[in-house]
Chains A and B, each alone.
Chain A
Amino acid sequence: MENDYLLVMEGISKQFPGVRALNNVELRVRRGTVHALMGENGAGKSTLMKCLIGIYTPDSGTITFKGEKLNITSTHYALSKGISMIHQELSPIPEMTVAENIYLGREPMTPYGLVDMRKMNRMATELLDRLHIKIRPTAKMRDLSIANMQLSEIAKAVSYNSDLIIMDEPTSAITEAEVAVLFDIIKSLTAQGCAVIYITHKMDEVFKITDEVTVFRDGQYVATEATANLTRDMLIEQMVGRTLTQMFHKEKAEMGSVFLDVENLSGKGFRNVSFQVKRGEILGLAGLMGAGRTELMDGVFGVTASYGGAVRINGKPVKVKSPADAIRNGMALLTEDRKLTGLYLNATVRENMFIANINRYLVGPFLRFSKIEKDCEKMRGLMRVKTPSLMQIIKNLSGGNQQKVLIARWLLTEPDLLILDEPTRGIDVGAKSEIYRLMTEFVLSGKAIIMISSELPEVLGMSDRILVMHEGDKVGELSRAEATQEKILQMATGMKIPTSLAA
């Protein structure tokens, strides 16, 4: 039976500073099958795949591919052995054409040693036609829609003629029609004996396209099952390690007056969006990658310029031209990428906590550290931040605790509206449920939250109302009672007729 397996990964471990990303995990993939790799964010799926494609080197464990033990040290090597990958978060090279991106690293050459652009474009045309992808190979990547960029990445992965293709959330940015194209491609690949490792958060896709499922949780291997033997609930339970109702700590707060009222606001990446948030409410903001959710919140918060329309806070018109204006008006924004736009990685927990609130601690030009110490210590207890001391350098904390410190930073400013952009991305399950608890406590005290999230269970579990965006437009609003995963996805993909995704 062992030779049935195209790929066997055994005993793989990978340690990052402060995080055990993979702990002795395994994965077995058969020829000609689609193998789903499931798990929450931070479960270790992408890390394992990066070990397989040569971006990371595992600390221990063996990889056997086509019966041969491989020591994969570079992407180049992995590609040459017949493993290719569609990367989830990796944008292509914007200034190059579709064809140049697809054949990057294996350009056809003329006899004079120059790149044969004509042949490259012809090859790309044939490839895209064969896959029924309607993109002009000579178009520049930067001019493509996000969906088309993703399709060209898919075409690129296929063009290596690999025996194994890793697809890391290939449908996170594409619409229903393109998903159908992708599934046709996957079927013809497996018919030729190629195997696909398919990472997704979308349950419907798992049951529609995959043959087997392996589940990871918190860097640990949980189980591998034939998809046919699984139900949706079984799968969720394996992923989360508990039932969903325990996960989301949700209490209905009393709805107060409208705090923020945005009318017909436009800006970079969003157009004519109107919405309101009431005190005591959690407004969920759903949509695909690139739908304009983060851009909308950046506009509201004054990070980027917005124009047209009106913004009212507590019924009074305000102009928010900079984050300082927003903070003055009682707003706080927890940004999406905590490393890039949130944390001062080399500063202490304490500095990271009080930095947004520094004016409150000034006596003349000097800082009152006794007061800072007192406030931060209080927050540390409230947030249950796990750190040996407030003077710990924050990069030594786990992702979940870093996130708690950032939330503490904004809570110290005593905002009336907390905007959370992907508040639980990449943090462990325990920290997640604590953040949900804090969110609930926050709105129970008569304040408001806007939460951007790509995790639908989280949106459904925590929101009182859900606003859905698609390519920069608000396409709909759902109450907690009427919202389902399917309805949100249909709106988010810009679909017209409400049909089941599985249809």
Chain B
Amino acid sequence: MANPGVITAAEAAKRPAGGQMLASIFSKYGIFLIFAVMVVVASLLSPAFLSTINLINVVRQMSVVGLIALGVTGVIVSGGIDLSSGSVVGLSAVVAASLAQSADSSAPFYPGVHLPFIVPFLAACAMGALVGWINGGLVAKTRIPPFIATLGTYTAVRGAAMLYTNGRPISDLTDQYNFVGQGALGSVPVPILILVVMAVVTHILYARTKFGKYVYAIGGNEQAARVSGINTGRFKMLIYIYAGFLAGLAGLVVSARIGSGQPGLGVGYELDAIAAAVIGGTSLSAGGIGTVAGTIVGALIIGVLNNILDLMNVSAYWQQIIKGGIIVGAVILDQLKHRGGK
């Protein structure tokens, strides 16, 4: 008998390098290529697209969902899901706004209370982190599926926001507060700055710290992570808390942008954020896969798509249909990628 074993072992080692080179390049950078193509097509379809004002507009519009998506990416990478982030936006918006009303407000929430900006800022972040802590606790301690845990908080937190203001908006906010949503440093709007800073911070957090490594490890193979001595419950908690914190921050930005804290803010944002992460290559089916850069591009793709459809006067109804198609298409692509890769 010949010796097929040895020959094929050598062959097998070569195989991925040769035949799948193109596939592996695509699977790594595909989403960036798609984005580049979209930008080119968009600029051909509408000359207005490439104007500075329009581009800044695109990024500003996606900045809130982008912020949420940064945290959601980590949660999905860990093998979980967070449906509560849209509701967190509403809650943190009203709580922060209630602490940020100007002295001349016609309907003060806490009459006579005037606090420095840092207080509503921290309150927004803390509200988000608190909900994240509840989510993480439910997932890590009670071991109920993350979908159910965060479906519960999705509902309850929205209720809490309504309850807090009795369903009414909180207006007449301080200029300092509104600056976060409406202001600009030079020609760069503050929401974009916040997104850029948080994206860099989150990237470092996920890619370079112990915390990040463990989030990927838990999503990749929870049992393996546990037997490596990692306290998986603790790190699951932490990633939900971080995602909640970012959603809280997003709530601050939105309310500042419209100059009013409304309990109905952020409805559906959780799904847009999940869509951004998924389009950007975060895998819902296999944990441990996803990057900050991918998610940002995913959010940009949604933003550019909305923008170009707006510029071309496509009806909002069609826009939703197209967006839905893109989300499903991205996941199909992701599945093909993983089937081809192994």
Contacts and interface: CB of A to CB of B under 8 A. Distances in A.
B1 interface: yes
B117 to A, nearest CB: 29
Contacts, number: 101
Given A95-B220, A104-B228, A145-B9, A114 B204 contact: yes
Interface string A39-82: 00000000000000101000000000000000000111001100
A87 B226 CA distance: 12
B6 A93 contact: no
A143 B16 contact: yes
A93 B210 contact: no
Given A114-B204, A115-B209, A145-B13, A494 B221 contact: no
A204 B69 CA distance: 55
Given A75-B228, A115-B209, A104 B5 contact: no
Contact of A75 (B210, B212, B216, B226): B226
B226 A93 contact: no
Nearest to B77: A95
B120 to A, nearest CB: 29
Interface residues of B, number: 33
A109 B213 CA distance: 12
Contacts of B217: 93, 96, 100, 104
B5 A53 contact: no
A105 interface: yes
Given A93-B216, A93-B220, A494 B210 contact: no
A55 B227 contact: yes
B322 to A, nearest CB: 31
A422 interface: no
A281 interface: no
Interface in B310-328: none
A85 interface: yes
A495 B5 contact: yes
Chain B CB within 10 A, most for which of A76, A87, A495: A76
> DSSP majority for the B interface?
helix
A155 B208 CA distance: 23
B204 A105 contact: no
B191 interface: no
B53 interface: no
Interface in A488-503: 491, 493-496
Contact of B8 (A96, A104, A107, A271): A271
B210 A90 contact: no
Given A90-B224, A93-B217, 20 more contacts: A55-B227, A75-B227, A80-B229, A85-B227, A90-B223, A92-B221, A93-B288, A95-B216, A96-B216, A104-B224, A104-B225, A105-B230, A114-B208, A115-B208, A142-B341, A145-B13, A471-B5, A471-B9, A472-B12, A475-B5
